[in-house]
């Protein structure tokens, strides 16, 4: 488990997406929204997951969910549900 995801483009440009300080262990991540966003699922040493969705172009956080399961998660986070 890492605390950062680095996305690299063929032209050498890259962007880092760090896990939330409180939930530093990235458990899973993937591209979303037709590859225009990245979803990062992270956790602390124990307890529920934290879900963040970032816009790839700007790097800005565009969605957040915490500790929810299945259908209660936003649509973008549901594929990462426990």
Q: What is the pLDDT of residues 13-52, one digit of tens each?
A: 999 888 777 888 999 999 999 999 999 999 988 888 999 9
Locate tokens 């993937």: which residue? 30
pTM recorded for the entire structure: 0.84
Overall average pLDDT of the 8-14 stretch: 90
In this predicted model, which residue has the larger pLDDT, 18 or 71? 18
Burial of 7 (0-12, 13-18, 19+ CB in 10 A): middle
Tell me if residue 81 falls in helix, strand or coil: coil
CA 56, 44, 27, 1 torsion: positive or negative?
positive
């Amino acid at each position: 488990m890492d605390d950062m995801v680095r996305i690299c483009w063929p032209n050498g440009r890259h962007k880092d997406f760090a896990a939330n300080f409180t939930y530093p262990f990235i458990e899973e991540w993937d591209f979303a929204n037709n590859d225009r966003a990245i979803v990062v699922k992270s956790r602390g040493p124990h307890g529920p997951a934290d879900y963040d969705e970032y816009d790839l172009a700007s790097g800005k956080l565009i969605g957040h969910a915490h500790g929810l399961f299945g259908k209660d998660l936003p649509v973008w986070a549901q594929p990462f549900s426990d």
